[in-house]
Amino acid sequence: MKNSDRRLTAETPMSSAVSAIRATIDPLHWESEFFNLSSGKLNFSSSAPVLTPAALTRYALTQAKISANNLALADALANIGFRLVEGEVDLCLSVDDAPAATVSLRQRLAERADIPQLRQAAAQVFSLNRFRAPWYQPTDSGRFYARWIENAVLGAFDDLCLLIEDDNGQPQGWVTIRQSGEREARIGLLGVFPGITGRGVGSHLMALAETWCRQQGIQRLRVATQVGNVAALRLYLRRGARIESTAYWLYR
């Protein structure tokens, strides 16, 4: 199960009609270098200039993330060449209100020695994502999530990566977490190793993340996933998470 990436986006007000799109384009330096693809992202603001075709041609790929209820803006973006890529659901779990759960599998903090195996698994597992053809190369998605989980183990981007193992020490799944405020954290990646099914690993990983939050005094645990990732949505809702917002990603 993959949780979508957490890049900040300006909320776009809902309106019945959009005559002109007002936005600047923020360069995505890291993504441009990593994917070797000049990329930018729309930053919507009522005080921004009207978006022009000339501004859009500065980038090989321009991204937009908008509230899912702003259909007028979605239509306006479609009129200038943007295409829907995926829908995203953002959820929040009140840790204190979550049902008590015990992690019966072995658990530990991922270490440098785990990185090769985690990179390989992450590259295979996260197939539902927005880094896909025709906008990206076939191998880009796997490379991206392999880098993400490596950085999490090293304490970059996410703060840490927790593993659960069976009684023989074989890894079953992982969850990466980043503390985003004094009493708030966000799950980055939650995944089960390829070939591991029917063992409730996802529930164990959520329970592990909740336990870590309680130990850190964190009250709210956030997570995002794709609209089409029904298994992940069921898991988070079953643990007591509530949907806070929905969004669409569009590319041009």
Q: Is 145 a catalytic residue?
A: no
Q: Hey, is 190 helix, strand or coil?
A: strand
Distance in Å from the first CA to the final CA of the chain: 27
Q: Does residue 126 lie in a domain region?
A: yes
Residue 146 makes CB contacts below 8 A (sequence gap 6+) with 119, 120, 122, 123
- Total of domains in the chain: 1
Domain that holds residue 99: 92-246
Q: Is pLDDT above 90 for 15?
A: no
The sign one gets for the Cα dihedral 205, 209, 212, 214 is negative
Query: pLDDT band at residue 9, thresholds of 50, 70 and 90?
Result: very low
Q: Does residue 33 lie in a domain region?
A: no
Per-residue pLDDT, averaged over 236-251, amounts to: 97
Residue 29 makes CB contacts below 8 A (sequence gap 6+) with none
Amino acid at 167: D
Q: Does residue 112 lie in a domain region?
A: yes
168 marked as binding residue: no
pLDDT tens track for 180-235: 988 999 999 999 999 887 788 999 999 999 999 999 999 999 999 999 999 999 99
Q: Does residue 111 lie in a domain region?
A: yes
Q: At 150, which CATH number?
A: 3.40.630.30
Q: Does residue 56 lie in a domain region?
A: no
Residues in the chain: 252
Confidence (pLDDT) at 7: 39
DSSP 8-state symbol, 134: T
Q: Does residue 106 lie in a domain region?
A: yes
Q: Does residue 211 lie in a domain region?
A: yes
Burial group, residue 48, by CB count within 10 angstroms (0-12, 13-18, 19+): middle
Which is catalytic among the residues 59, 136, 145, 236? Answer: 236
Q: Does residue 1 lie in a domain region?
A: no
Parallel, antiparallel or unpaired: strands 171-181 and 220-226: unpaired
Q: Which has more pLDDT, 119 or 53?
A: 119
Confidence (pLDDT) at 1: 54
Confidence (pLDDT) at 193: 96
Could you give the C-alpha distances from 72 to 50, 77, 94, 106, in angstroms and in order?
16, 9, 33, 50
d(CA 125, CA 122): 5
pLDDT tens track for 103-122: 778 999 999 999 999 999 99
Query: pLDDT band at residue 3, thresholds of 50, 70 and 90?
Result: low
